[in-house]
A = this chain, B = another copy of it.
């Protein structure tokens, strides 16, 4: 228990402590720093840039952010955590990269240290009103930034249910999965430059697409099949050298934590362009990630067995013990003309066929080098669907809402989904096949303690679709 009030369904109890990059209008933590006389030692290199309201490292607790740059400036780490020298330098940075590069033992020691400082029975922070005023920032007043400098972003395709659904739509039931799918975690390179933090508006892209199925002539137009993809993604901690694969038993040491991700997709652009080299402009106009990185250590209590793998993977992909995480996932939509968000998809990370450690080991088996801050998406996380009821299949969810994209929910645009205009008017519905201008998409995920006493959650990954903007030279 923390001395910070944390409601039972909060995503950010003391058991979580996810890391993020935030800024405030005034850097309330550091600004009045030089006039204080309460430190035992002067601030290490009190350089002027620190006095600017600049993005810095914090951890979320309840509805607050604990500003680690302030703790560092007050020499907390220097005095209590010898494993982490240069804490002020590391926690004053505008990305988590420096911290993420330090590795598991430092992350673990820091977690224990922060849990101690935040616990209800430790007085240091709890009873220092002045310091609490400096070190805590309400999440409501902070602006969140991308948590990492992402060198490369890879997107996998690891949900068997999603790959099957898409396969059935395009190739029929008998050839739904490609021959390689059950042998390796299929992945491809995405675009790092257009990964944005939750809250960033996404502009509808235009590009080449076919006029229609009946008239397969390419034309230039704004996408008419805008979609989301419910994904999660892992962030690389320490990297590996080019030519030096990471073995599967070491893969976990290279993953710092996870976020929720929306891989926005323009299905019509993708469909025309992707043969034979894969998705490109249908995906790279924007990818949204949640701002708080939940560490693998915080997720450890929620490890469960993943799906049985048959055929047995090749040796370099074999692992034992539970390797899946029980993360409840939801997608909500708020159509432009609606008042409230409405849940249209429920799924779970635990259904994913290939584990995140298999993804990382596969990624490096050829010697490919990962760098600190690299992002690995899971692929769309659809779940199993029971044709009768989730209960009969022993599923948490599993009605026909366990589809991680509108492509699946509308079955390639062949049916409409209904969304209440507001929670108070369930019969007044808005219809959607794909995302319309002004619609917002919100994704969230959380783990639930077995006794229901707390959640370890990811917060929100949200974005609104803006209309395409026409320009002089842009006509087809």
24 A-B pairs in the complex with CB atoms less than 8 angstroms apart:
A151-B193, A154-B280, A179-B216, A179-B275, A186-B273, A186-B276, A187-B280, A188-B279, A188-B280, A189-B190, A189-B191, A193-B374, A205-B366, A207-B365, A220-B314, A220-B315, A220-B316, A247-B473, A276-B278, A278-B278, A281-B365, A284-B368, A315-B475, A315-B476
- A275→B180 contact, CB < 8 A: yes
A369 touching B194 in the complex, CB below 8 Å, given contacts A469-B243, A471-B245: yes
Question: Given A193-B370, A474-B245, is A277 in contact with B186 using a C-beta cutoff of 8 Å?
Answer: yes
Interface residues of A in 354-374 (CB under 8 A from B): 362-363, 365-371, 374
A324: min CB distance to chain B, Å = 21
Top 5 closest pairs, chain A to chain B, by CB:
A278-B278, A205-B366, A189-B189, A188-B277, A203-B243
Is A242 an interface residue, CB under 8 A from the partner? yes
Residues of A within 8 A of B (CB): 151-152, 154, 157, 178-180, 183-184, 186-194, 196, 203, 205-208, 216, 218-220, 242-243, 245, 247-249, 266, 269, 272-282, 284-286, 314-316, 362-363, 365-371, 374, 466, 469, 471-476
Extra 16 A-B pairs, beta carbons < 8 Å, given A206-B365, A220-B315, A243-B466: A152-B192, A154-B280, A157-B277, A179-B275, A180-B275, A183-B208, A184-B273, A189-B190, A189-B191, A194-B242, A194-B369, A205-B365, A205-B366, A205-B367, A220-B314, A282-B366
Chain B residues in 8 Å Cβ range of A180:
208, 218, 272-273, 275
Closest beta carbon of chain B to A279's beta carbon, Å: 7
Nearest-neighbour CB distance to chain B for A243, whole angstroms, equals: 4
How many Å from the CB of A427 to the closest CB on chain B? Answer: 37
